[in-house]
Structure 1
Amino acid sequence: MGAVTAEARPWTAPVASGPVTATVRLPGSKSMTARALVLSALADGPSEIRRPLRARDTTLMAAGLRALGVAIDTSSDDAWTVEPGPLRGPATVDVGLAGTIMRFAPPVAALADGTVTFDGDPHARNRPLRPIVEALRALGVVVDSSPSGGLPLVVHGTGMVEGGEAVIDASGSSQFVSGLLLSAPRFGKGLVLRHEGPPVPSAPHLRMTTHMLRAAGAVVDESVPDVWVVEPGPLHGHTWEIEPDLSGAAPFFAAAMVTGGAVTLAGWPRDSWQPVGTLTELLTALGAEVSQGDDGLTVRGTGELRGIDADLSEVSELTPVVAALAALAGSPSSLRGVAHIRGHETDRIAALAHELGKAGAGIVEHPDGLDITPGPLRPATFETYADHRMAHAAAVIGLASRGTELTDVACTSKTLPEFPELWAGLVTGS
Structure 2
Amino acid sequence: MNATAAPKKRRWEAPYAEAELDAVVRVPGSKSMTARALVLAALASGPSTIRRPLIARDTLLMVEGLRSIGVDVDTADDERWTVAPGAFKGGTEVDCGLAGTVMRFLPPVAALADGPVAFDGDPHARKRPNDGVIKALRDLGVAIEDGGRLALPFTVNAAGRVEGGELAVDASKTSQLVSALLMAAPRFEQGLDLRHVGDRPVPSRPYLDMVVQMLREAGAEVDDSEPNRWRVAPGELQGREWVIEPDLQNAAPFLIAAVAVGGRVTVEGWPTETTQAGDRIRDLLTQLGSRVEWSRGGLTVVGSPRPIPAELDLADASELTPSLAALFGVNRGPFTIRGVAHIRGHETDRISALVTELRKIGADVEEFEDGFRVNKGGATTGTWKTYADHRMAHAGAVAGLVIPRLRLDDVACVSKTWPDFASVWERTIFGRGNAEGAEA
TM-score, normalised relative to structure 2: 0.95
Q: Percent identity?
A: 54
> 1:417, 1:375 → 2: CA distance?
30
Q: Does 1:242 align with 2:244?
A: yes
Equivalent position of 2:254 in the other structure: 252
Partner residue in 1 for 2:103: 102
> Is structure 2 residue 139 aligned with structure 1 residue 138?
yes
Q: Aligned partner of 2:252: which letter?
A: A
The residue number in structure 2 matching 1:347 is 349
Give the 5 Å matches for 1:149-228. Answer: 149-197=150-198, 198-228=200-230
Q: Is the deviation greater in 251-260 or in 172-181? A: 251-260
Aligned to 1:292: 294
Indicate the residue corresponding to 2:408 in structure 1: 406
Unpaired runs of at least 5, structure 1:
none
Q: Counterpart in 2 of 1:379? A: 381
Deviations 1:249-278 (A, max 9, x none): 111111111121111111122221213553
**Equivalent in 367, 370, 380 of residue 368 of structure 1:** 370
Task: Give the superposition deviation at 1:428.
Answer: 0.8
Contact 2:204 2:277 in 1 (8 A): no
> Take 2:39 and 2:378, find their aligned partners in 1: how far apart are those partners?
47
Counterpart Cα distance in 2 of 1:354 and 1:55? 28
Q: Unpaired segments of 5 or more residues in structure 2?
A: 433-440
Please say which of residues 350-359 and 278-287 is displaced more in the overlay. 278-287
Q: Give 1:303 deviation, angstroms.
A: 3.7
What is aligned with 2:316?
A: 314
Q: Does the Cα contact within 8 Å between 2:249 and 2:278 map onto a contact in 1?
A: no
- 1:306–1:326 contact (8 Å) kept in structure 2: no
| 1:23-43 deviations in Å (ceiling 9; x for gaps) | 111110000000000000000
Select 2:424's aligned residue among 406, 422, 425.
422
Match of 1:265 in 2: 267
Matched letter for residue 72 of structure 1:
V
The 8 Å contact of residues 307 and 329 in structure 1, kept in 2 or not, is answered as no
More moved, 298-307 vs 86-95: 298-307
Instruction: Check whether the contact 1:323–1:393 (CA below 8 A) recurs between aligned residues.
Output: yes
* CA 1:29–1:146: 2 relative to 1, 3 Å: farther
Contact 1:331–1:374 under 8 Å retained in 2: yes
Q: Describe the superposition over 1:120-160 as per-residue Cα deviations: whole angstroms up to 9, x where unpaired.
A: 00111111111111111111111112423111110111111
Taking only aligned residues, the RMSD between alpha carbons, in angstroms, comes to 1.2
CA–CA separation in structure 2 for the residues paired with 1:277 and 1:412: 20
Q: Is the 8 A contact 1:48 1:239 kept in 2?
A: yes
Give CA-to-partner distance per residue, 1:332-369, whole Å, 9 cap, x none.
Answer: 11110000100000000000000011011111111000
Q: Does the aligned pair in 2 maintain the 1:163–1:189 contact within 8 Å?
A: yes
Query: What is the rounded CA distance, in whole Å, between the counterparts of 1:420 and 1:157 in structure 2?
Result: 41
State the match for 1:336 in structure 2.
338
After superposition, the Cα gap between the structure-2 partners of 1:293 and 1:230, relative to the gap in structure 1 and judged at 3 Å, is farther
Distance in 2 (alpha carbons) for counterparts of 1:146 and 1:243? 40
Tell me the residue number matched to 1:60.
Answer: 61
Distance in 1 (CA, whole Å) between partners of 2:25 and 2:115 is 45
Separation in structure 2 between the aligned mates of residue 226 and residue 383 of structure 1, nearest angstrom: 37
TM-superposed deviation, 1:414:
0.4
TM-score when scaled to structure 1? 0.97
Q: Choose 136-145 or 33-42, whichever is displaced more.
A: 136-145
Q: Aligned to 1:292, what secondary structure does the other structure show?
A: strand
Mark the CA change 1:276 to 1:394 in structure 2 (over 3 Å): closer, same or farther: closer
Runs in 1 of length 4+ with deviation above 4 angstroms?
none
Q: Secondary structure at the match of 2:82?
A: strand
How many pairs does the alignment contain?
428
